[in-house]
Structure 1
């Protein structure tokens, strides 16, 4: 009894780390390792640190609004001008009181995103996609393993936040029990201090949890962008080009080069042969050239084509085995004849010119 094993299964299994190109493509799509808990923790910490450092200023602004409301505007006659004046005054005072909090929250959001993903502009991530409103896929997302993990994380965070705030209240239980003995101002200060302390304690807790969540998100992201061996091969093909297409391009280039070379054979002065395996076409113009130039060369089939072209175009063919081999080995098409072969080439050209009665 034999078991059939599909080898392609291993090629499709995502076991390889993502390449830099894969990471770049994922980043361009907005797919990065990011934890929303980091944003929440930073915003909470920044805002409550602001309350701790500048809470008195914010409270003073709120009391200022209440004070001029009861002293200056309570009996104001309502007209178009007075309503406009009241609106501008209240908006300005509210902006003064709230703007530090809004600025702290905005700064925290920017800082948390910069720490996680840096500067990222991914317009593709906000493109409208029909699959996002697909009810079937939405149902799958709601009842997926990831959704269950997120639910358990949320319940755990709520429980820990409850424990931390309860611990802070327990620590100040004596002051809370004496709250009825305090004046209104002292009671407000105590409650305000407790709120700030609880906020900072929860903020520190959430930062710790956010670090753990970010590490998990990074692990999950690395897992999701893993590539299979086939993916690596496909990416390599796209980067380097399909080998079949490249071979066809090279073949076409060779054909074009061959065609250009064969066009130069009729213009040559002589073709030096092996006689059967090598053929080298030479051209010399004493008015334009310092030395003879190789215009075509080849072996076997190409050599035969060069000799046939020379025959059909009345270009002399001279057999010189050592010289043909040396020229083929030491120079390329378009090169001048090497100096150590000048004598042999000069003798051949002299013979050709003599036969053609050029000298």
Structure 2
């Protein structure tokens, strides 16, 4: 029996259940989401290729101007201490102008590559330092884990595939490369730009394929990481819905308080209509202050039984009428007047009660 209990506890602690929406939301708030670093890389390369395609003519003119500045203006200019800072600044400005479009596009497409995976996410908790990240034991486990091995294989595969693709492109254009030295500067620069564009597009396509595969793997790992045990599901239910034991105690307390209030008002009742044990409804009527008989107490099962006991103690007349008791219980709440369609039945009972009590309600 002890072994069986331990086995059940073991299986209850296994992460075998899919994560609930609440668990996913909590993980997202911590910055824990399924994402691949290869997707932004593929986006950045595609953006760079697009920039080269759209701005190829502009880049050609800027690069030719830079060559002219370096190989003509600088060589023909006498460099002195006075003009050296100006020449260096001019050279840096030209290089910044060339790099700025690619830099801006890389940022935009890099953000876009992350956004398509996880959407907008603001997770301050992910920024805070965690001591577990600098724990040498945990670090060693991460280094020698299956995930680290997969990352290593993925990196090697990426380098091999991209290097192979670059080699094929260069080999295909070997005649052009060998003849660059015999071409004018404009034509050689254009040829290099065309090969660069071809390389960017090829590598970007390869990275997209790798990114899709890596994202699927990262999503699988993430789903496995956030799995929940049966005990986790129970704990989450208690956290969101409240502990069933506490809820039952609260409801019991509320029922007791409600019953106490009804018992306090019961002496004012003229009659208690019962079913006879399942339902009990107490009515009071004062023609000076009420337009119709009013429900001042009602209960079902245990509460109905308590109302019957207290009605006997307070000498309140008890009348058994199953359909009327059920109808009053279903159609009214405490403080409500009797529904118009039940006036006749209630009036007959009140008349009977007044007659046996030897008085007329509201009379002298």
TM-score range, shorter chain: 0.7 to 0.9
Cα distance in 2 between the residues matched to 1:63 and 1:353: 119
Partner of 2:119: 118
1:331 counterpart = 2:336: no
Select between 299-308 and 131-140 the one with higher mean Cα deviation: 299-308
The question of whether the paired residues in 1 share the 8 Å contact of 2:66 and 2:94 is answered with yes
Cα shift at 1:99: 1.9
Partner of 2:43: 42
TM-score of the superposition, structure 1-length normalised? 0.83
Partner of 1:19: 20
The question of whether the paired residues in 2 share the 8 Å contact of 1:279 and 1:306 is answered with no
2:312 to 307, 311, 314: 307
**Unmatched 5+ residue regions in structure 2?**
none
User: What pairs with 1:75-224 in structure 2 (closer than 5 Å)?
Assistant: 93-224=94-225
Cα shift at 1:152: 0.8
RMSD between aligned residues: 3.3
**Unmatched 5+ residue regions in structure 1?**
311-315
Partner of 1:292: 293
CA gap of 1:153–1:12, structure 2 versus 1, over 3 A, is: same
Partner of 1:31: 32
1:282 counterpart = 2:279: no
Cα shift at 1:350: 4.6
Select between 3-12 and 223-232 the one with higher mean Cα deviation: 3-12
Partner of 2:351: 346
Cα distance in 2 between the residues matched to 1:344 and 1:137: 80
The question of whether the paired residues in 2 share the 8 Å contact of 1:13 and 1:228 is answered with yes
Cα distance in 1 between the residues matched to 2:275 and 2:93: 100
CA gap of 1:194–1:319, structure 2 versus 1, over 3 A, is: closer
Cα distance in 2 between the residues matched to 1:306 and 1:318: 7
The question of whether the paired residues in 2 share the 8 Å contact of 1:277 and 1:303 is answered with no
Matched residue SS, 1:52: helix
1:86-122 deviation line (CA, Å, top 9, x unaligned): 7876665444322211121112112211211112222
